[in-house]
A and B are shown apart, each in its own frame.
Chain A
């Protein structure tokens, strides 16, 4: 069975500050891992994915995530938050058989 835990359903950062959204996963096989972003009234959009290549994955909009097998983590970071980053962020894990399990989501608020 696979699962994802996102720590913190709400995260607030000041504009220009570091963004850190936490995700821990559980999977019985080497996983695919994903971060998605959802802006208000829109569908989810892929930010980045890990598929067993480089452990540090760079995505769109300046986001990146590091796969740490020893910690079963895949935290999402961005050095400097922009107002436009305010959205809901979902971590997800796939067992490579096309079933994807999503976390509960983290709402990122950016304070001017």
Chain B
């Protein structure tokens, strides 16, 4: 069983469209994250939820909106996509009591044309 899964794996879309990426973890963790990795491999945290509550909200355009329907799911919705949104988006989860080590999903490669 995959611990942290993301769908879709690849997403190609045009500028101005709205898209969503879904993430699910079956590890029973309390905290989930969204990261953006650019073409130079730099990994930047975007959001973090703990038990469905937003706890980290970095400087991210408000076109990006996370939603956590329950603590096993954290989805990312992006409105009015721009060329600069092209990147790989990673979902991750962690449990504070186990030292904050993060378990990453396989990533979603978003290409905006």
Contact = CB atoms under 8 A, between A and B. Distances in A.
Contacts of A44: 43, 90, 92, 102, 104
Interface residues of A, number: 24
A3 B104 CA distance: 21
Given A51-B99, A98-B100, A90 B43 contact: yes
Q: How would you classify the secondary structure of chain B's contact residues: helix, strand, loop or mixed? A: strand
B94 to A, nearest CB: 7
B100 A105 contact: no
Contact of B101 (A34, A90, A101, A105): A34
A74 B29 CA distance: 27
A94 B100 contact: yes
Interface in A32-49: 32, 34, 36, 38, 41-46, 49
Given A98-B48, A98-B55, A105 B94 contact: no
A34 B103 CA distance: 12
Q: How would you classify the secondary structure of chain A's contact residues: helix, strand, loop or mixed? A: strand
A104 interface: yes
B107 interface: yes
A102 interface: yes
Contacts of B68: none
Contact of B107 (A32, A43, A105): A43
Nearest to A90: B43
Interface of B: 4, 31, 40-43, 45, 48, 50, 55-56, 90, 92, 94, 96, 99-107
